[in-house]
Amino acid sequence: MRSTLGVGFLGSGPVTQAIHLPTLARLADQFTVRHLNDIDAGVAETVAARAGAAYSTSLETLLDDPLVDVVAICSPHAFHAEQAIAACRAGKKAVLCEKPMAMSGDEAATIAAVSAETGVPVLVGAMHTFDPGWRAAVAQWGELPTASHTIRSSIVLPPNARFEDLATEVLTRPDFPSLDLSDVQVRAAMVHAGVMGLAVHDLPLVRSFLSRYDDLNVLSASLLTPFGYRILMVADSKVVELHAVVSQTWQPSWVLEAYADDQVLHTEFTPSYVHAGSAVSTLTTAESAQVFGPSSSNGYEAEWLELAAVVRGEVAPPDLDGLVDDLRFTVAVADAAAEAVRSADRTEAAA
């Protein structure tokens, strides 16, 4: 019997190379990388050689590989749903799907249904949701989810490539076409993409303070340059502000705050790609401040360790209804923010 779980990757791009392979190298007692798949044969072959694994360019070849127990989906967003469903149907032991889980609530619900039918657990790689510094605060925050009235997410990051290059030598990157930002449809699409690609990390955390989001009202949304967004919205009668800027900053910052009248949560997360320990959360009242973290383990390690524990039957699989709701919330915010960008443009044109 094999003592480690064999891992196969669908998509061998920067996230596989700079996030998951270094993480699994630290968890070699639990995982062995067995198979790298990519539609680009050169990328699959080169990354597989680094990992001492097999490679392929077809989904079926990876799913047929008996050494692959766990499928990690690190392809572009649009493929996540079909690949997660195929991995469940192939009877693998677990699936780790990078965020976003899918591109629509219906796609996410189909993944959940197939996971339930096949008994294959699906985890979503929104690493902050697994972060020990976040989870420790969640365990101690008492009435904060109901009492909070203001939630604020602020992200200031250099481009991903800066961190990818610090972690490894990334083989290829997609070309970014130059975009005409005077076109409102382009600006709306970029805000939508910002929510689906970046805010998606924090929206499950934001949702833990909301008992509903069917009343979601985006008050304003704008694209920030060179890339980012600012979205002000109300849901469950609470004010939520989402702010992100990607610039050449030397000092990254990733903060989530929740305010109630008698308690404040302030969490500072490590940025994506950074293998440097956990978030630090501070819960402050008028009488005291409690600090949680840092822990030496980050959210990436924690998600893989949780997956291994789920496969061993030591912890319950993730609540898929909750993950589907996270995705529905994310899509609702993305759609409403994009519409707010278009609406502001119409108002300006009419003035």
Ligand X SMILES: NC(=O)c1ccc[n+]([C@@H]2O[C@H](COP(=O)([O-])OP(=O)(O)OC[C@H]3O[C@@H](n4cnc5c(N)ncnc54)[C@H](O)[C@@H]3O)[C@@H](O)[C@H]2O)c1
Total residues binding ligand X (CB under 6 A)? 25
Please, what is the minimum distance in Å from the beta carbon of residue 19 to ligand X?
6
Nearest one of 48, 79, 54 to 66, comparing CA atoms = 54
Binding range to ligand X, per CB under 6 A, among 39-47, 144-152, 240-248, 325-333: 39-47
Beta-strand pair 70-73/5-10: parallel
Closest to ligand X by CB, 30 vs 270, is: 270
- List binders of ligand X among 176-205 (CB under 6 A): 197
Residue listed under structure tokens 């898929």:
320
**74-113: contacts with ligand X (CB under 6 A):** 74-77, 79, 98-99
Among left, alpha and beta (phi > 0; psi -120 to 50; other), residue 130 is alpha
Query: Residue 216 corresponds to which tokens in the numbers above?
Result: 């979601």
Q: At how many degrees (to 10) do helices 105-118 and 320-350 cross?
A: 170
Nearer to ligand X, 127 or 283 (CB): 127
Q: Which residue is nearest to ligand X (CB)?
A: 13
Q: Is 298 in the site for ligand X (CB under 6 A)?
A: no
**Side-chain half-sphere exposure of 98, counting CA atoms within 13 A:** 23
Please, what is the angle between helix 320-350 and helix 184-194, to 10°?
Answer: 160
125 counts as binding ligand X under rule CB under 6 A: yes
Q: Which of 174, 175, 178, 313 binds ligand X (CB under 6 A)?
A: 174
Stretch of 5-13, 142-150, 205-213, 227-235 contacting ligand X, by CB under 6 A: 5-13
**Lookup: tokens for 45:** 């072959």
Q: What are the residues binding ligand X (CB under 6 A)?
A: 10-15, 19, 37-40, 43, 74-77, 79, 98-99, 125, 127, 173-174, 197, 272
